[in-house]
Amino acid sequence: METYGNPALIHLPQHLKRYIVPQHYERYTAIDQAVWRYVMRQNYAYLRDIAYYPYIPGLRKAGLTIEEIPNLQAMNDSLKKMGWGAATVDGFIPPAAFMEFQANRVLVVAADIRQIEHIEYTPAPDIIHESSGHAPIIGEPEYAAYLQYFGEIGTKAMFSEKDFELYEAIRNLSILKESSGTTIKQIEMAEATLADIQANMGEPSEMALLSRLHWWTVEYGLIGTVEDPKIYGAGLLSSIGESASCMHKEIPKLPYSLKALDYSYDITKPQPQLFVTSDFNQLREVLDQFANTMSFRRGGKEGLEKAIACKNLCTIVYSSGLQVSGLFQSGIGDEAISYIKTVGPTALAYQDKQLLGHGKTYHADGFSSPVGRLSAVEKALEDFDESDMKRYNIEVDQHATFIFESGIEVRGIIRSIVKQDLKIQLITLAPCQVVDSLSCQILFDPEWGTYDMAVGQQIVSVFCGAADKEAYEQGVAVSANKTIIQQQDEIGQAKNNLYSLIRQRRIGESPISLTEIYEMIVKHFPMDWLAYIETLELAIHDQENRLAKQIENHLQEIISDHKHLSKLVLDGIQLAKNDQIALIPTE
């Protein structure tokens, strides 16, 4: 994996690196460069008036230019000065992984760029959205801190089985929509699948709700006052269509608060309303309000029930600090948890580091253990000191009996005791028997081998994923559904050669005149509005007024026959006339 000499990437956890793909800068065509240039020129001309003030100088600070698609090396050279990095990925990645990248101060940048047909708004993540949307505002310290903090919270969010199905459906649809070879039937089928999943999501998970806060702030947020807001959300900053339409009075602007959770969103449509925060500190305050309701801060029976319901790998944390990561199946206890159980590979950890000898291969068939206090004992077992252990005959190679207030009874010979930071976390017994005296149920039989009893009087935290991801998630694969690499046919190659000539002309290296280029467009690609716009800019710049008039007349003919192109073409003409090849200021 290329780290670009950036510490944020060098120190990235190994399990996240599997999502990173090479940028392959050589794959960007001259048409791709023209798409980037058009969007960036439009953004610069429009956003300098309505974007939050650090955006324009932030472009330069993030290593971006108007003229060409950013190189990840240049971006990382700039971002590392702010303690951040950037890495290219293949389209949408799972929400939990996205959040963890953010927590590690790494912006994930989709390596691909939108097609001309989606120049105003792309259904898939692309390098325009990720780099020109997210990167420029990283230079604002309060906002950068919010991004990282959001990632840290998001990494702990509980998600459901349906969430992952939704992610795969959205990823599949976005890939199909950005592929030139996709049929209408394929898109319709993918849309139907997505609609069916969305209609049967059930109660939104913590991750689903957190995604709403992310959407209405990081992606589509406004800042200032409801009467005079500025744009800071990346989705708006990278959309030349919606960045303008969102400011219309018809789009409601609501004060940002926790009530934003009540508003779901559709990534395929313009947003029906937007939220305005007074400042970036308010973003963190609202996020904290929601985080206080999440299982990783609340723990307890509610958290365990969420872990069971989500049917995904989760971690529970005992009050002793011991972490148990696995697929939770059941728990015993009506009011509080008295016994937990996992099925399949389970690992034990402390402070997110796996305990020696307690990985998922050792606990391959699951793990179970009591939770709670010992009966008729005032002190929590996890807090026993040497005198307490001696008093209750808790010593290695000695038989011990643990009777919990819940009625769970553990009897056996102690083989080892794990104690860290003055807390007893794990007691291993063999042979051992565990019974629920209230139901007379045998929970562990001596013939089953060694029993590892977790120690802790309560569950203080529950979150999705493994505690030690590096150890647990080795070998876990990314989505098998990959972005389709577009292959150019002869017509596509010819068009790209034309755009290459235009690009060469801009830097004074074209072997043919501007008039010859124009004639090539008219002859071979008479409806290619972007090629005309690029040529019009050069004609005006070179004061070839007659040619400029011819090009403009041709563009007017295009929009008279294709009304849906009117805004794109007219904006391009206006910019060519009034804002000649602007440079991004350093200050």
Place of tokens 């604002």: 140
Residue type, 471: A
Beta-strand runs (E) in 458-576 = 459-464
* Mean pLDDT, range 300-315, rounded to an integer: 91
pLDDT reported for residue 582? 42
How far is Cα 559 from Cα 392, in angstroms, rounded to an integer?
A: 88
pLDDT reported for residue 515? 95
How far is Cα 327 from Cα 314, in angstroms, rounded to an integer?
A: 6
pLDDT reported for residue 102? 95
**Phi, psi angle pair for 426, to nearest 5°:** -150, 130
* Mean pLDDT, range 439-453, rounded to an integer: 95
How far is Cα 360 from Cα 211, in angstroms, rounded to an integer?
A: 30
Q: Answer yes or no: is pLDDT of 239 > 70.
A: yes
Q: Answer yes or no: is pLDDT of 584 > 50.
A: no
pLDDT reported for residue 343? 96
**Residue 351 burial (10 A CB sphere; 0-12, 13-18, 19+):** exposed
Closest CA to 146 of 279, 264, 267: 279
pLDDT reported for residue 585? 40
Please indicate whether residue 438 or residue 153 has the higher confidence score (pLDDT). 153
Closest CA to 235 of 245, 220, 246: 220
The mean predicted confidence, pLDDT, of the chain is 90
DSSP secondary structure letters along 227-270: SSEEE--HHHHT-TTHHHHTTSTTS-EEE-SGGGGG----TTS-
pLDDT reported for residue 478? 61
Banded pLDDT at 203 (limits 50, 70, 90): confident
Classify strands 229-231 and 253-255 as parallel, antiparallel or unpaired.
unpaired
Q: Answer yes or no: is pLDDT of 185 > 80.
A: yes
- Mean pLDDT comparison of 134-143, 198-207, 249-258, highest-scoring range: 249-258
Q: Answer yes or no: is pLDDT of 123 > 80.
A: no
* Mean pLDDT, range 273-290, rounded to an integer: 97
pLDDT reported for residue 292? 97
Q: Answer yes or no: is pLDDT of 241 > 80.
A: no
Asked if residue 338 lies in contact with residue 404, where contact means CB atoms within 8 angstroms, the answer is: yes
Please indicate whether residue 428 or residue 51 has the higher confidence score (pLDDT). 428
DSSP secondary structure letters along 149-192: HHHHHHHT----HHHHHHHHHHHHHHHHHT-TT--HHHHHHHHH
How far is Cα 427 from Cα 423, in angstroms, rounded to an integer?
A: 12
Q: Answer yes or no: is pLDDT of 533 > 50.
A: yes
Dmax (CA) for the chain in angstroms is 101
CATH of region 7-159: 1.10.800.10
Banded pLDDT at 581 (limits 50, 70, 90): very low
How far is Cα 493 from Cα 437, in angstroms, rounded to an integer?
A: 77
Extents of the domains making up the chain: 7-159, 311-472, 490-578
* Mean pLDDT, range 539-553, rounded to an integer: 94
Phi-psi region of 508 (alpha: psi -120 to 50; beta: other; left: phi over 0): left
* Mean pLDDT, range 60-68, rounded to an integer: 89
pLDDT reported for residue 551? 96
Q: Which of 167-181, 233-247, 440-454, 536-550 has the lowest mean pLDDT?
A: 167-181
Confidence (pTM): 0.86
pLDDT reported for residue 586? 39
Q: Which of 199-208, 243-252, 428-437 has the lowest mean pLDDT?
A: 199-208
pLDDT reported for residue 583? 39
H or E element: which one contains 106?
Answer: strand 106-110
Q: Answer yes or no: is pLDDT of 579 > 70.
A: no
